[in-house]
Amino acid sequence: MKKILFCLSLACMLPLLCACQKDKEDNDAQTPEMKTPELKEKAISLSFKDTTAPYSSIILTETGKAIVAKALPKQSAPSTRGGTLIPEYIYGRYEVTGDVYTIFDNSNNFVCHLQLLKNAEGTITSVKIFLNSNVDEGVAYAVEVIGKVSDSNLTQDLCRNWKISYTHITLDGAVKATKIFEAPDASSFNAIFEYAKEKAPQLDAEIPEKMKITDIMFTQTGSFIILFENGKIFVGTWNWKNEKTGEINYAWDGDEKMFDYESGKATFTIETYKKVSYYTLTLSGSVTDAGKTYNATIAFNLEEK
């Protein structure tokens, strides 16, 4: 059986989920107040059918963020993760005027204008892209509009731009320990790895390059995006496994075997920590390595950014 490194698994878990331990006195968690995002009705996710288009997909989030996947190169070998081709992403923001979206990168440089084109029934079938802000003519490309996962209150609350305020990590099995990270370590890969190595030094895993999560974003059209301080972007998909209990299915870049867990689940729920109610995203699971089973729970307390 292929050896599974628990510490590496911890790092893979980190971008996705969190849960905090309830203090006995903190059983009266209240739903955090969430305002409707200003661009909720303008948010849209597009997949390009036309292989001549400069992009393969565009995600425009409810919170005004833009994630643009460049078309995969035809000659060179793009990067892969889990056997899936990974495009180069542009991250930024967008503005809307009528049916025209203007996309800027994270340095506020112009990326493109995007005009939605509809058929006689009012369905968006293509978009016209203007790559130069100073010209009036664009090129139309066929697209598919990605439908919403759901429009429930919980889905609307999930689909935010989040920052991590606390991270709770619990190890069990060969080791048993719990740690709570507060800012600035709450969103640091390195802090998580160092803790795991301290508590389970027998595990052979290298501390990764310095990486810190700056943003976690979910969209109603089933995308989630993880942004790191060093500029790396992870894009994946999600849907509800059980919306009543907040359980989520997830995958990175379309690869449904993202993690080598023998069991595990993700949940989005409300928990209370230090007398404050937070939405939390939780991953718990078990990994067997060299005949030993390690259980872990990684929990983020999320604040809207």
- Position 202 scores a pLDDT of 62
At CB < 8 A and 24+ separation, what contacts does 121-125 make?
A: 124/44
Whose CA is closest to 29, among 249, 279, 234, 268?
A: 279
Q: Are residues 170 and 139 in the same domain?
A: no
Q: What is the pLDDT of residue 23?
A: 44
If asked whether residues 177 and 297 sit together in one domain, one would say yes
The pTM score is 0.78
Q: Residue 183's Cα: distance from chain center in Å? A: 20
CB contact at 8 A, 241 and 154: no
Q: Provide the β-strand partners of residue 171.
A: 177, 296
Domain-ending residue, one of 124, 145, 166: 145
Residues 186 and 57 in one domain: no
Assigned token pair, 302: 């999320």
**What is the domain range of residue 255?**
6-32+154-304
Residue 183 pLDDT: 87
Q: Is residue 86 part of a domain?
A: yes
Residue 37 domain-assigned (yes or no): no
93 falls within a domain: yes
* Same domain as 207, residue 116: no
CATH number at residue 65: 2.40.128
Look at residue 78 in the predicted model and tell me its pLDDT: 54
The total number of structural domains that make up the chain: 2
pLDDT of residue 274: 87
Predicted local confidence at residue 99, as pLDDT: 84
Tokens representing 209? 């390059």
Average pLDDT for runs of 10 along the chain of length 305: 36 38 49 85 93 94 93 62 69 92 95 94 93 85 94 91 92 80 89 79 66 91 89 86 88 51 69 90 74 80 93
In contact, 186 and 164? CB cutoff 8 Å: yes
Please indicate, yes or no, if residue 39 is contained in any of the structural domains: no
